[in-house]
Amino acid sequence: MEYSEPEHTRAEQLVIAKRFVEAHKHSDLADWGPMYEDGDGKLITIYYNLIGGEYGYIDHNGGNDYEVEISKRESHSGYTFLFDF
Q: Is the pTM of this model over 0.85?
A: yes
Residue 74 belongs to a domain:
yes
Would you state the pLDDT for residue 1?
45
Would you state the pLDDT for residue 55?
93
Residue 5 belongs to a domain:
no
Residue 72 belongs to a domain:
yes
Q: How far is CA 18 from each of CA 28, 42, 43, 47, 62, rounded to the nearest angstrom?
A: 10, 10, 7, 9, 23
Range of the domain at 75: 10-84
* Each residue's pLDDT expressed in tens, for the chain with a length of 85 residues: 455 667 889 999 999 999 999 999 999 998 887 888 888 999 999 999 999 999 999 998 877 789 999 999 999 999 999 999 8
Could you give the number of structural domains in the chain?
1
